[in-house]
Structure 1
Amino acid sequence: MKNINPTKTLSWKKLKNHIQEIKNINIYDLFKIDKNRFENFSINFENEILFDYSKNLINKKTIKYLLNLAKETKCIDAIYSMFYGEKINITENRSVLHTALRNNNMNCFLKDNNIYLKINKILNKIKNISNNIISGKWKSFNNKKIKNIINIGIGGSYLGPLMVTKSLQNYKNHLNLFFLSNIDANQLISIINKINPEESIFIIASKTFNTLETITNALSIKQWFLKKYDTNFHKDILSQHFFAVTNNINSAIKFGINKNNIFSILPEIGGRFSLWSSIGLIISLSIGFNNFNKLLLGAYKMDDHFFYSPLNKNIPIIMALISIWYNNFWGAETEAIIPYNDNMYFLPMYLQQLNMESNGKYIDRNGEKIHYQTSQIIWGDVGTNGQHSFFQMLHQGTKLIPCDFIASASNNYIDYKNHHLQLISNFIAQTKTLAFGNLQKNNNEKNIYYSCIGNKPSNSIFLKNLNPYNLGMLIAYYEHKIFIQGVILNIFSFDQWGVELGKKITNSLIKDIKEDNYKNKKYDSSSQALINFYKKYN
């Protein structure tokens, strides 16, 4: 990828001038001026997803300058570099291959080697174990059917699968799912109190197999499990109940996991982009491999669109540019994600990680300190719940907060059509009210407290149906949007060194507290006091 400071481009300078022209134009006026505004600022993708970005503070000139910014920062070259396996994750000296996991043309190359054979082998392994466990063919060590699947992982090894399985719970089979992520023992105890170990499968999901929270939880689960049974047979017991998803095969075997129960993950797959890989084993177990494959196919369809579509018709690129427009030219520091589907409850949290862990950087690809905005703060909640809490600020607050509204047009419950009608009416009404408000001419002082000025931007993302295929498209869209933001903002989106530093300091603190070394070390007064308080009550 080219290392280009976006603020030095001609397009950036034109956008700085352009905002002076457009900042006093109202969204209401933009619709009034352009009778075909919806047609000009929306994309119907495959009749499966409708992207409507017409309710934004943009006009044709804005889009022209933004698209020129994408050209000047060589976005197309960057897309080719990622898909062709070039080492764009420079700080870790790696390629970025999550798109290869769902590549449907069986032609993924890395260093002139076709890696599809390896990917296909992993997929077949996921398929076989999923079919065996779901069908009941795979039994416990004492010949009982499996009822519970416990995923032990954190970060990308948990949040992506959690979001997908919750979103697609209408496709869920009979297996009960549990996610153990937090080091807090409360979560561990809550899970083990609900399950029978003989009827449970445990998946330890850790790319490195040394993530502190994951391995601590896994060891505790293993100890709890073996206490229930004769430990002389623990190897046989573990082989029927414990699995690993990791790139560290040796550590998994050392832990006691049968080699046949280890699902590998390519080192070029970042954690927050890994739900398409073996990390998605719990997804396949939850909804069946055929539906998991449809999720992959949907993502591949968006990959195809992202790779081949021209800039002005490219959904992820247009949406990335609009986000940069608000973040850097309007001073909007946050974006709200508001899905009008309760099954998508974890989507805002997932996108929070995907965006902020990728683009929350202050050093550019040239190694220089950045003097413009990178990642927005991502937050949100499901509608209509949010309407009865933070929407007050969206409508009448002093902050500009661009929003993504997401809904599915179809209703899964015939007996509750009225519920869905109300849900979608709220979805549309909120974007309409944010854009146009309720102000009328000649407002008087009497009703000023009721006034909503409108002119609040939003995107509407309308799915035909929330199914595995469309969800795959939607997730891939956000992945590519975030990638393009990183390209234009001249940062490395695929490392997370800020996270790694916190891990190192944690490990050092654990050792010091255990061995009382903290008494001899010069901690800052705050940290010292916190340690003392902990030690006093433990």
Structure 2
Amino acid sequence: MSFPEIPADQSPEWSSLQSAAARIRHRIRDDGVLRHCDPAAVLAIEELGIELDGTRQWLDAAALDSLHAFARAQQLEARRDALLGGALVNHSERRAALHGALRSPKTASIVSGGQDVVPLVHATLARMRELADALHAGRLTGAGGTPITDIVNIGIGGSDLGPRLVCDALQDEAPDHLRVHFLSNVDGTGAARLMRKLRPAATLFIVSSKSFATRETRLNAKTLFAWCLASGLSASELQAQVFAVTARPAAAEEFGIAADNILPLWDWVGGRFSVWSAIGLPVALQLGYRKFEEMLAGAAAMDQHFAKAELEQNLPMRMALLAIWNGTVLNMPSHCAVAYDDRLRLFVDWLQQLEMESNGKGRTASGERLAYATSQVVWGGLGTNDQHAYFQLLREGTRETSIDLLCVQQPSHACAEHHVALLANARAQADALADRVGGRAGGNAVSVLSMKKFDPHMLGMLLSAFEHRTAMIGAALGINSFDQPGVELGKQMAAALEQA
């Protein structure tokens, strides 16, 4: 089944949303602060260990009911089923968007284009397991049997941000003797710094590029490989230490990568949704395959919740509706995500690409210009650091912002006093950022996303929830969340300037 994009302002519930927004703004103007005390504002998914507290949103029970009616009018539940079932949802590129299949069990069957994609996924996962097991057992070595100490992932965008986030977030679960590095920017500074500290014979390289035509990735790989050869590695020794992840294996072979060292991608996996695929190879190599598998299981658990939970109790749906309410209906121009957990310090970098590359569009796939705001500008960082940077603006600035504060209830370290202080700051800032200051009524629209604990399983659930949130925002607003036509023009112009 294929669903066309339907602009939100063509929904029969659009006028109800506008009326609800006017009523909410009137209440805030008169009363100063709107505090939604209805129990429905807190969505606790106890079996998953996640709670979304929306009591500080600019929302009351009637407005939430209007959002649910809008979601049904836009057929979000049917669109969810189509997405998960392999329907053609990327209309401009005539493709499915099957990142959910990347964490599906072997027993599943997801057919797209007449082919069951699940066996393809699990064949690739088996190859990733082989490589990770061989590395951790000491069987995968560098030139002359040199033990591997460093892994370099060469990629950009979706081939970088997801695995970079996961490797950084879960580094405490990795063995001390393995270091993972990420090289993305075309600025030669990054390559030069790596060449100063790496030993070629002790380094594995992963070149990740769906098209294998990305200029930054090819140039970075070319530079590092030339350095390896100049440092004394033979061509065959280097080739044995280089792996590629791509949807164009012939292009990788032409670049000099051995066919046996190429892991596949597929056109139905978008880069920003691809950390679950072989793009996650650096994660599996750093942590060991079992930890990578735990992350996949967490994502699959969230997929099941997303697929089966009723609209009113569905976490990704609620997150999407809040984003639409704040960004499109209330017209808040930006969304700030602040993680009160150091392991999520790179979360907002990943979220920026996920949200803005997916939904930062002003037209439907058929080319119809949209007359309302779509993606918010996504920014943020790390609490409590950011309290000493831009929270002044959030507290007393002239524009309202929607805010997500992310926190973890159980620490994974023995520094109990630190964790008490951290959570106290998160709770205090949630209240402070939502309250009126200096005559500016209403404050900001704040949600607190609280996780019981943090491990690979929980990280998988978290990232999966935000993926589904993003897809449902696009579906509700009439946007194709799975293409990125605006990225291409700059590439073409840069290529022309290089050749000039």
TM range (shorter): over 0.9
Query: How much has 1:114 moved relative to structure 2?
Result: 2.0
2:220 maps to what in 1?
217
Query: How much has 1:321 moved relative to structure 2?
Result: 1.1
Q: Find the aligned partners of 1:366 and 1:259 in 2 and give their Cα distance.
A: 39
2:139 maps to what in 1?
137
2:116 maps to what in 1?
114
Q: Find the aligned partners of 1:202 and 1:302 in 2 and give their Cα distance.
A: 32
Structure 2, unaligned runs of 5 or more: none
Letter in 2 for 1:110: S
Query: How much has 1:479 moved relative to structure 2?
Result: 0.5
Query: How much has 1:454 moved relative to structure 2?
Result: 5.5
1:507 maps to what in 2?
495
TM-score (norm 1): 0.89
Q: Could you say what secondary structure the match of 2:431 adopts?
A: helix
Query: How much has 1:176 moved relative to structure 2?
Result: 0.6
Query: How much has 1:120 moved relative to structure 2?
Result: 0.7
Structure 1, unaligned runs of 5 or more: 440-447, 513-538
Query: How much has 1:495 moved relative to structure 2?
Result: 0.6
How do 1:296-335 and structure 2 match up within 5 A? 296-335=296-335
Query: How much has 1:44 moved relative to structure 2?
Result: 2.7
Q: Which moved more, 1:305-314 or 1:270-279?
A: 305-314
Deviation by residue 1:23-61 (Cα, 9 ceiling, x = unmatched): 133598654x84xx3455322342511111121111111
Q: Percent identity?
A: 32
Q: Please tell me whether the aligned partners of residues 356 and 377 of structure 2 are also in contact (alpha carbons under 8 angstroms).
A: yes
Q: Find the aligned partners of 1:21 and 1:269 in 2 and give their Cα distance.
A: 42
1:430 maps to what in 2?
429
User: Measured at CA, do residues 360 and 74 of structure 1 come closer, stay the same or move farther in structure 2, by a change above 3 Å?
Assistant: same
Task: Choose the corresponding residue for 1:188, options 165, 184, 191.
Answer: 191
Larger Rg: 1
Deviation by residue 1:462-499 (Cα, 9 ceiling, x = unmatched): 11111110111110111111101100110111111111
2:231 maps to what in 1?
228
TM-score (norm 2): 0.95
2:411 maps to what in 1?
411
1:526 maps to what in 2?
none
1:275 maps to what in 2?
275
Q: Find the aligned partners of 2:248 and 2:400 in 1 and give their Cα distance.
A: 45
Letter in 1 for 2:141: K
Q: Find the aligned partners of 1:360 and 1:276 in 2 and give their Cα distance.
A: 23
Number of aligned residue pairs: 494
Letter in 1 for 2:334: T
Q: Could you say what secondary structure the match of 2:490 adopts?
A: helix
User: Whose relative contact order is higher, 1 or 2, with alpha carbons under 8 Å and at least 6 apart?
Assistant: 2
Deviation by residue 1:430-463 (Cα, 9 ceiling, x = unmatched): 00222345x7xxxxxxxx6xx8866422111111
Q: Please tell me whether the aligned partners of residues 168 and 466 of structure 1 are also in contact (alpha carbons under 8 angstroms).
A: no
Q: Find the aligned partners of 2:48 and 2:286 in 1 and give their Cα distance.
A: 27
Q: Could you say what secondary structure the match of 2:56 adopts?
A: coil
1:381 maps to what in 2?
381
Q: Please tell me whether the aligned partners of residues 28 and 435 of structure 1 are also in contact (alpha carbons under 8 angstroms).
A: no
Q: Could you say what secondary structure the match of 2:434 adopts?
A: helix
Deviation by residue 1:291-312 (Cα, 9 ceiling, x = unmatched): 1011111111111111111111
Q: Could you say what secondary structure the match of 1:53 adopts?
A: strand
Q: Please tell me whether the aligned partners of residues 134 and 175 of structure 1 are also in contact (alpha carbons under 8 angstroms).
A: no
Letter in 1 for 2:83: M
Q: Which moved more, 1:17-26 or 1:6-15?
A: 17-26
Q: Could you say what secondary structure the match of 1:23 adopts?
A: helix
1:252 maps to what in 2?
252
Task: Choose the corresponding residue for 1:17, options 19, 29, 49.
Answer: 19
